[in-house]
Every structure is written in structure tokens, then in C-alpha cells.
A and B are shown apart, each in its own frame.
Chain A
Amino acid sequence: MTKDRKDKSARAGFGCPYGSRRDLLFGLAGAGAAIALRPQRGFAKEAEDPKAAEKARGRQVADAPAGSGDTRDSVPFYGEHQAGVVTPRPASGIVASFDVVAQSPEDMERMFRELTDRIAFLTQGGKVPELDPKLPPADSGVLGPVIEPDNLTITLGVGSSLFENRPWLKPYKPKQLQRMPEFPNDALDAARSHGDLSLQFSANLQDTNIHALRDIVKNLPEFLVMRWMQEGDVPVVPPKPDGTTESARNFLGFRDGSANPDSTDAELMEEVVWVGEDDEEPDWAHGGTYQAVRIIRNFVERWDRTPLGEQERIFGRQKNSGAPLDGGTTENDVPDYAADPKGEITPLDAHIRLANPRTPESQENLILRRPFNYSNGVTKSGQLDQGLLFIAYQADLEKGFIAVQNRLNGEPLEEYIKPVGGGFFYVLPGVPSPDSYLGRPLIEAAKKSDTPT
């Protein structure tokens, strides 16, 4: 059951919402994770603010980021799960999709090792190597000579096509990984859809993400060809004086992420997000998750010409407060659909009601959303090209995003939105220690058997 967060005590505090790094670790799922610590200048904050631990624990992925944060703050890279899934979402993000040119197991391993090295460095920061000025510099210099981590996470996922095009890898494909289908309202642009490999970057500053993407492109031209990328961001909203936070708003003016499952509840995340023994997936995939990316154009001019009451009925929430239409004051209030069986208060085809009817059965369709807003320019028709970079994580793609989207097909909101890109990817399990690398369980499983089963 989606937790009612009304009774949760004040969550993130003032200033840096992440507290000390140790506090951040409490907030992350993954028991027994081996974390590589390095001396951090941010530790002084822990002594100043004893409530930091509790507040950091409460930070939800879809909360509006509280401030630009301290560029010295970092998110640990090593662990059972990759960072960037249940990690609180900072203000800026990029999803980049690539085609992979590596064909053999050896090349694939080299690619994964190289990616792991780059990601480990970029997310923890450090000095860039200095080369002779007659050579191109090793680093773009966008962040200066010393890279600050800036809460960067880089999350690596693999697409169905990676497996399909490699006979030695195909038998190990996650069971539900598939090429994203076209749903009835979709108008997928081939140039912005699918891919062999996805990288989700999130950091306080977009420059940090861009710097990281450029670093990876520069270091892996042998293996990766860029396919598409979409930048996005979410507005910064400092917590209220009482410490409460709210989900960030999307470009339709509504909060996006209310009713997300509690990302700080490790047990719930194991059930909803992380693939484990209970899921029917290959062993190598344990600790990973399915990622659904959707680039969803919003017809904002038309939306802004729609009566407020209608907007609220389309969504099923009050616009300003985020509360359900049957009462309440905040987005944390839970609608009582049982008391409204005909949908006279919250229409039966309201977005939130279709997405999550809150029945016992629909509890198995929970997804964790961690989106960004994007703004790309102007269309040929002279309208603004902006919308939602939707990103959702779930342990079961069929029961998660696919089931939810199928319920949404035909919703009134479709007049105002048009999915134009994205893809389905499988986020690899985390890297437990520095002598391992992203994708190792998969590569070793594939190398072990001589004949695919």
C-alpha cells in the first residue's frame, strides 16, 4: 500500500538536504553494500545538524531538489545496486542512448570495464591528468582542473537489441526486456527511440552531467555511437520551515511524483524496484531493475487554454495543493475511491485514478518515477517543444510501466501529450567493489557456458 506520508516527521532540513554522506547511505537501499569512502570536506555538517540523519532518510526521489547543493557532495558508486534509482533526484538530468559496436565477449568486457572506470571517477571526482599542451587535453575542462562530484550519479542500462544482435549474449537477456512497443497514443521518432545502452546522468548542475557525458564519449569512441540524448531539469524548491518537501512540478503545472512508493523504504524498494530471487530473472540480473524512459511532448499552449477545473479533473488532483479532489490539503493525502465508485468526485478516467486505482490488485503495479522536464525549442508549427522526460523503475516491466500505461491508454490527458521517444532498458546490478565492474556477472555467465541453453 502506498504509504501515507502524513505521519512522517519532518524530512529534509535546510541547506544541504543530503546531510553527511553516512546519512545518505542510511537512505539508500541495499543492505551490506560495500562502500568506498574517501575523505570528504562535507562532514562538518553532521556535527552541526543532528537531525540530518532523519531528514536525509526521508528524501523522496520525486521531491523537488532543495537547492543547488554543494558541488563537493557525492553519491557512493560501489554497492549492491547502481546509484541514481532510489537516490534523491537532483535538479538536472540527461538520458543518453547509444548503439554498441562491441561484438565479442572480450570487447564487451573491455567496454564495461572502461565505462566502470569512467563512472567511478566522474561520480567521486578528482584531479584530471595533465598532458603535454601539444596533445589534446585529457578532459574538456568544463568543470575546471579538479572535478567535483556535485552529487553526480551515472546509471547504466542495456537494451533488448544488445542481446538480440549477439548470439552468445541472447540466452541471458532479462526475461521481460523488450523493444519498447508503440502504445496507441505514441508517435515514436526513430531518431529518439530505443538503443543498445542507456546512461542516465543526474547531478545538481547540468554542466556536471554534460561534462560526464562528454568524458564518456571521448573515452569510448571504439565501442559507443551516440544515438539520442535528452536533457531535463526540475525546479528547485527549498523545504518549508517545518521541513516538509513536495514533489517537483512538471510543465503542465502539476506535481509529478505524488504517490511514488517510498524510495527510502529499503524493503519496499526490494519488492517494487529491485530484481531479486523472487523475480523470475537470470541470476546475473539480481540487484538490477527495469528502466522505462519516455520522451513525452506536452502541448503546453493548448493546456494553458484549458479551464482549471478541467485540468484538475483530467489529472484527478487539485493543481495548487496537489491534494486529491475529494479533499485534503497536500499531495500526500490519499483519495478514497471506494467512497466514490461512480467517479463523481474523481473521474474514473482521471490520470491518477487510471494509473493507480488503489485496489488490492493494483498494488502489484507500483512503479518508481524519477522524471525531469525538458524544453527543446520550437516545432515546425511554431509551438513550444517541451515536455516530460519520464523515467520509471520497476522489478517487473510487464506489471509495472506496461500495465500502468495500458490502463492509461485513451485517457483524456492524451489530448495534451504525445510520447515521441525513449526506450526500455535493464539497469545492471551494482558494482560491489573496485576489483569488479559493471556487467561482470553477465559477462562471466555468458563466457562460462560453451553452448547456450
Chain B
Amino acid sequence: MSLIRILAASAFALIVSAGAAQAQSKQASLELVEPLAEYKIYVAENAAALVEDTEKFVAAIKAGEVEKAKSMFAPTRRHYEKIEPIAELFADLDVSMDSRADDYEKGEADPNFGGFHRIEYVLWEKDTTEGLDDYADKLLADVKDLNNRVSELTFPPEIVAGGAAVLMEEVAATKISGEEDRYSRTDLWDFEANFDGSRKIFELFKPLLDDEAFVAKVESNFADVYEVLADYQTEDGGFVSYEKLTDMDRRVLSAKVNTLAEELSTLRGRLGLG
């Protein structure tokens, strides 16, 4: 692996100038091999962990253990939220697993509204596991399906590189307002997972970037978002309710997330990808 990198660095350096940037791709694909391979491993690990955690989550639901199921909801979702750019490629699974009530005209009354958030709705709003068996089974089936599809997928480089920005766009567009986990208020868990997923991609491609100022800015912004979240962490590594997020902190997060989205939107170009 390192031989490839040495060859890549010496023969195929990318040139990205500051200011009005121009991105040149000279056989960029060779140096991307290693980061892509590592990312594939990252996704596979998270997909497998998602299956494992979902099995336990579903078992708790079917055993009628409401509190236990509640405590497993956010930690289980983390693995999904980290790999969302890839998971989203399978639109049918994404809809089945992660859609929200307002994606359906009849909202929570719509029987098609399923997945994580249907389960969340019943657990928190009704405080029961009644009626959830089928939804739980479907979720587990979907998660296993996702795991299989991911292992067979060739990861397009632009999708991976673009994924760093996509995760930020997700947060910026639909999550920063607290609409994602509206019953459990576990949105901060999702934020951290999205940031983790984004940062992972950035870290993997970082060695290929020449623009030190850009790298420093992005790293500084990542550090800042984690710093804001740190104030809301609980002792067991989880997070307090989204409602505790102050207006000021939400604004800071919003600014940082949008800034990171802008910066990371140049990642593909900087790597010579279209």
C-alpha cells in the first residue's frame, strides 16, 4: 500500500491553488485506491455493527422491554448515520429504514411510515412496544439487506469524496432544527455520528491534499463542532436531549456545519474528481 502512495505522491501530485482554484486530475485514480479501500472497510465495519446492534434492539422490542429498547435506539442508529452517504445510495432501503412522519401525507397514521422513526414514535409517544413486531422485523431485514448490498458495492470515488459534504448538508438542511428524532430528542447523537462519518472521509483523503491552509481550516472547524457537542455529552458517552441545545450553540453549530459544507464541497474537485 505505501509503495503505491510513494509512487502516487511523486508522479501524480495534484495542484490546487488557493483563491480561484483550479483542480487538475492526472491519473488521480491511483492515489485514491488506498483511501477508498480504507473507507470501504469503515463502511463494512459499521454495517456489520449495525446488524449486530439492530438484532439486540429488535429482541428487546419483541420482548416488550420498553426502557431497554429506548436506551438502544440512538446507539444503534449511530452506525447508520455514520455511513449515510453510502446507505442513501440504496434509496428503497433508506426510505424503508429512515423516513420521517412528514414524508407521508397521513403522517404517523400512515401504515407505510415504518423504520427507525416508527419504532421511535411508538416507544416514546405511546410508551409501549405494542404493534411493533412487524416493523421491527422489517427493520432487521432491511439492515441485513443493506449489509449485503454494501459488501457487493463498488464505491464510486466521487460519491465517497462527496460524502463528506453530503453529511454536512444533511445536518444543515434537515437536522439542525431537531426534526430528525422528534420523539426521542436524540438528535445530538445523530449529529455526532454524521460529523464522525464526514471527518472519517476527510481524514482518509487529507494526505492527498496540498493546500495546507485549507486542511487547517477544515480541521479547525471540525474541532469546533465537536467542542460544542462536548458540552452536551453525558457520562456514558451519550448526549442530553436536543431541547437542551441553547439558541447560541445551535447558531454556532449551524454556522460551522454550513462552513464545513462549503469547504468540503470542494473536496471532489481538489482530488481531481468531477
Q: Which residues of B contact A129 (CB under 8 A)?
A: 20
Asked whether A48 is an interface residue with its Cβ less than 8 Å from the other chain, the reply is: no
> Is B272 on the interface with A (CB-CB < 8 A)?
yes
Query: Do A101 and B274 touch across chains, with their CB atoms under 8 A apart?
Result: no
CB-based nearest B residue for A196: B251
Most chain A CB within 10 A, of B23, B24, B255, B268, is at B255
Q: Complex: how many Å from CA A435 to CA B25?
A: 39
A225 within 8 A of B: yes
**Which residue of B23, B255, B258 contacts A135 across the interface (Cβ within 8 Å)?**
B23
- Measured between beta carbons, the chain B residues less than 8 angstroms from A134 are 23, 25, 268-269, 272-274
**Chain A residues closer than 8 Å to B255, beta-carbon distance:** 101, 221-225
Stretch of B44-52, B237-245, B259-267 on the interface side:
B259-267
> Contact at B259–A222, with CB atoms within 8 Å?
yes
Q: Are the C-beta atoms of A221 and B21 separated by less than 8 Å?
A: no
CB distance from A16 to the nearest CB of B (A): 35
A136 at the interface (CB under 8 A from B): yes
Any chain A CB within 8 A of the CB of B33? no
Q: Is the CB of B251 within 8 A of A101?
A: yes
Contact A221 to B20, CB < 8 A, known contacts A101-B251, A132-B269, A134-B272: no
Residues of A within 8 A of B248 (CB): 165
* CB proximity of A83 to chain B, nearest CB, Å: 28
Please tell me if B7 contacts chain A, counting CB pairs below 8 Å. no
Check if B262 sits within 8 Å of A218, measured CB to CB: yes
Bound Cα distance from A222 to B225, whole angstroms:
12
Majority DSSP secondary structure for residues of B touching A:
helix
Which residues on B sit within 8 Å (CB–CB) of A99? Answer: 251
Interface string of A94-106 (1 = CB under 8 A from B): 0000010100000
| CB within 8 Å for A135 and B262 given contacts A99-B251, A101-B255, A224-B255 | no
Asked whether A44 is an interface residue with its Cβ less than 8 Å from the other chain, the reply is: no
* A338 on the B face (CB < 8 A): no
**CB closest chain-B residue, reference A101:** B255
Decide if the interface of chain A is mainly helix, strand, loop or mixed. Answer: loop
Asked if A377 is at the interface (CB within 8 A of a chain B CB), the reply is no
Within the assembled complex, what's the spacing in Å between the Cα atoms of A224 and B256?
Answer: 10
Task: Flag if B266 contacts A136 (CB, 8 Å).
Answer: yes
Closest to A99 in B: B251
A131 contacts partner chain B, Cβ-Cβ < 8 Å? yes
Complex-state Cα separation, A134 to B25, whole angstroms: 10
Spell out A's residues near B (CB within 8 Å). 99, 101, 129-136, 138, 165, 218, 221-225
Contact A135-B269, Cβ < 8 Å, known A99-B251, A129-B20, A225-B254: yes
Chain A residues near B21: list those with CB within 8 A.
131-132, 135
- A312–B22 Cα gap in the complex (Å)? 63
**A/B interface sample: 23 pairs, CB < 8 A:** A101-B251, A101-B252, A130-B20, A131-B20, A131-B21, A131-B22, A132-B21, A132-B22, A133-B274, A134-B23, A134-B25, A134-B272, A134-B274, A135-B23, A135-B266, A136-B269, A221-B255, A221-B259, A221-B262, A222-B256, A224-B255, A225-B254, A225-B258
> Taking each of A99, A133, A136, A225, which has the highest tally of chain B beta carbons within 10 Å of its own beta carbon?
A225
> Smallest Cβ distance from B96 to chain A, in angstroms?
31
When the two chains form the complex, which single residue of A130, A135, A221 contacts B261, counting CB atoms closer than 8 Å?
A: A221
Quote the shortest CB–CB distance from A342 to chain B (angstroms): 51
The docked-state distance in angstroms from the alpha carbon of A165 to that of B251 is 13
A216 to chain B, nearest CB (A): 13
B79 to chain A, nearest CB (A): 29
Known contacts A129-B20, A131-B20, A221-B259, A136 near B254 by CB under 8 Å = no
Q: Which residue in chain A gives the minimum CB-CB distance to B24?
A: A132
Asked whether A132 lies within 8 Å of B265 as measured between CB atoms, the reply is no
Q: From residue 112 to 148 of chain B, which have CB atoms closer than 8 A to chain A?
A: none
CA of A222 to CA of B259 in the docked complex: distance in angstroms? 5
4 closest A-B pairs (Cβ-Cβ)? A135-B269, A134-B269, A221-B258, A101-B255
Q: Which of A133, A134, A138, A223 has the most CB of B within 10 A?
A: A134
Q: Which residue of B lies closest to A217 (CB)?
A: B258
Of the listed residues B25, B252, B258, the one surrounded by the most CB atoms of chain A closer than 10 A to its CB is B258
Instruction: Give the complex CA separation of A225 and B265 in angstroms.
Output: 19
Task: For the complex formed, measure the closest distance between the CB of B12 and the CB atoms of chain A, giving whole angstroms.
Answer: 16
Residue of B nearest to A103 (CB): B252
In the complex, what residue of chain B is closest to A100 when comparing beta carbons? B251
Cα(A438)–Cα(B157), bound, Å: 43
Q: Separation in Å of the A36 CB from the closest CB of chain B?
A: 23
Contacts of B274 in A (CB 8 A): 133-134
